[in-house]
Chains A and B, each alone.
Chain A
Amino acid sequence: MEKVLMKGNEAIAEAAIRAGCRHYFGYPITPQTEVAAYMAKRMPKIDGVFLQAESEIAAINMVYGVSATGKRVMTSSSSPGIALKTEGISYLAGADLPALIVNVQRGGPGLGGIQPSQADYFLATRGPGHGDFHVLVLAPSSVQEMADLTVRGFELAEKYRMPAMLLADGTMGQMMEPVVLPEEQKPAAKAPGWAVTGTECKRPHNIANSLYLSPAELERLNVERFERYAEVEKNEVMWEEFMMDDAEVCVVSCGITARVSRNAIIEARAMGIKAGMIRPITLWPFPKKPLLAAADKVNAFLTVELSMGQMHEDVELAIRCKKPVYMCNRVGGMIPSPDEVLNSIKKAAEEGGKAQ
């Protein structure tokens, strides 16, 4: 397969088009604007729809409209814009509609900064919006994964009729790497049976809706939705293990920090420290099982993240606090150096070992 050199944000856009997505709605915000710019150029050439919405709120509601008609649709934004989209994401979840939402994260809170961050981890993994729900959360760690997980995001969203979020940090959006682009798919010829397409006077009307005034009915729908989520947790967890066979320190990291950690682990190994990594690729569902299994083998865990410890909390929960969990983090757009991670691995190896 031919490799092309692409920026992460552009790889998302091209992969979405190749996945048969012909509807994109967005609003400019750094560091993801290249997605919109790419779509603006390409969509008119392939009979697709690019629309610059008046706000992120309008964009996600346009997504809701297209999704209700049964077609592949996406929007992209960055952290403050994703906050605005949470209203619409909750409605998508409540109406059981699929869609792909890309979040190329920047530092917060508030207007924050424009440099990379992973601080929307809680926002994404706890259900980005009001009410009880989840979205699938995919965390790419290379430009290749930006493309591959975009396609996967559409597929999973449709399979489980729920929104999916591609949760990248700003580095992933801005960096360039060689990428093998996914196969071209044609947009689906036929809308699914639930879609709102006009009855043609041949069937009872379909309604895309999240309002249920009967508490018993609303409870039933919530419970059924969580039964579906349990299937997702059973079938769709993705992670990658690196040098875990004999590891005594297990690094847990995603996105750009997993790349930095990989280098630090190689250096640690050269110094005789048995380090390895479990890299979650899906953040929801979170790879709880491999982490819990690792807890019986390693002496300590170390999360490396661009937040004040949001993933740290999930690791402690996953391993049921069986082993100490250390953290190496930078925030505000700062990224830890391989040396910083190496020092944290050393510390975890020394102190974690003693804790046994």
Chain B
Amino acid sequence: MIVFEKPKSLTDAVMHYCPGCTHGIVHRLVAETIDELGIEGKTIGIAPVGCSVLAYNYFTCDMIEAAHGRAPAVATGVKRSLPDNIVFTYQGDGDLASIGMCETIHSAARGENITIIFINNAIYGMTGGQMAPTSLIGQITQTSPYGRNADTQGYPIRVCELLSELDGPAYLERVTVNSVPQVKNAKRAIKKAFQNQIDGKGFSLVEVLSSCPTNWGMTPQDALKWIDEKMIPYYPLGVFKDKEG
């Protein structure tokens, strides 16, 4: 009896992610969701620029590679062209909350009927560990070598809280994947974000607090602990908007 399989919606390509990176977990949760909802054939994914730039190689559905930060605009075009298809973007914090913040806010304000999976690991991973809009105060990165200083580098952005002020979004939730119960909880949220789109409820975004052991300079285990100790106190988990009430 087979008790554990690779989701159908993941290709056989070997992922390029570093050991201990949680991208692989979130990819799997998205693929499981697509499988369980039976939407593989009509799903179109938009990959970002950043560590998950190659996501188009990992999902079996049709994919588009967008310019840095522009995935929500590209997704808007696709969804307006093919309203019966399921359109999701998969974006990191630099992509979604820095260079693409304008596209993020406006697609949310329009209530575009799309699903956004937002990976917040508080750092630019692909380019080698620079300060992100979500890097914490005091966090040491290549471009904040003395620790992020609020006086000169400002404060980290809480995306779910920011978007929750808008009337457009249907569903905003922040989850993490640093333990088995949290992975299960993240799966529930991601599945809801896709189901919302099927039900025509509108803009749904799930923020996933993720680890980057390589660029945080930690072991994978310490990185998972760092999410609990440092990230969650600043980025509380929970639902920030759910139009269902």
Contacts and interface: CB of A to CB of B under 8 A. Distances in A.
A68 B78 contact: yes
A210 interface: yes
B76 A65 contact: yes
**Which 7 pairs of residues, A with B, have the shortest CB-CB distance?**
A65-B77, A61-B73, A62-B77, A54-B106, A198-B42, A61-B70, A65-B74
A61 B102 contact: no
Given A62-B77, A91-B67, 9 more contacts: A58-B70, A62-B74, A63-B77, A64-B64, A64-B70, A65-B73, A65-B74, A68-B64, A198-B85
B64 A209 contact: yes
B119 interface: no
A207 B70 contact: no
Given A23-B80, A64-B77, A68-B78, A196 B66 contact: no
Interface stretch (B22-30, B55-63, B129-137, B143-151): B55-63
A91 B85 CA distance: 23
A78 to B, nearest CB: 20
Contact of A51 (B40, B78, B80): B80
B17 to A, nearest CB: 15
Contact of A196 (B53, B62, B80, B102): B62
B195 interface: no
A145 B103 CA distance: 35
Interface of A: 23, 25, 49, 51, 53-55, 57-59, 61-69, 71, 73, 87-88, 91, 95, 196-202, 205-211
Nearest to A204: B60
Contact of A199 (B40, B65, B73, B80): B40
Given A58-B103, A199-B40, A205 B59 contact: yes
B81 interface: yes
Given A51-B80, A55-B102, A68-B78, A62 B85 contact: no
6 contacts: A64-B66, A65-B74, A65-B76, A196-B78, A207-B62, A207-B65
Interface of B: 40-44, 46, 53-54, 56, 59-67, 70, 73-82, 85, 102-103, 105-106
A49 B62 contact: no
B62 A65 contact: no
B70 A57 contact: yes
A55 B75 CA distance: 15
Given A197-B82, A201-B41, A207-B56, A65 B102 contact: no
A199 B85 CA distance: 11
Contact of B78 (A25, A66, A88, A91): A66
A11 to B, nearest CB: 25
B67 A61 contact: yes
B234 to A, nearest CB: 28
A66 B80 contact: yes
Given A65-B81, A209-B65, A58 B41 contact: no
A53 B80 CA distance: 13
B82 A61 contact: no
B103 A61 contact: yes
B41 A196 contact: no
A69 B82 contact: yes
B71 to A, nearest CB: 8
Given A65-B81, A208-B64, A198 B41 contact: yes
A59 B74 CA distance: 9
B63 A88 contact: no
A55 B56 CA distance: 26
A329 B233 CA distance: 64
Residue among B75, B76, B103, B105 with max Cβ neighbours from chain A (10 Å)? B76
Given A207-B56, A207-B65, A209-B56, A49 B41 contact: no
Nearest to A23: B81
Contacts of B105: 54
Contact of B62 (A55, A87, A205): A205
Contacts of A49: 80-81
Nearest to A71: B81
B107 to A, nearest CB: 9
B166 to A, nearest CB: 13
A131 to B, nearest CB: 12
Given A54-B106, A58-B70, A73 B40 contact: no
Contacts of A58: 70, 73, 76, 102-103, 106
Residue among A65, A202, A206 with max Cβ neighbours from chain B (10 Å)? A65
Nearest to B66: A61
Contacts of A197: 44, 62, 82, 85
Given A66-B78, A69-B81, A208 B70 contact: no
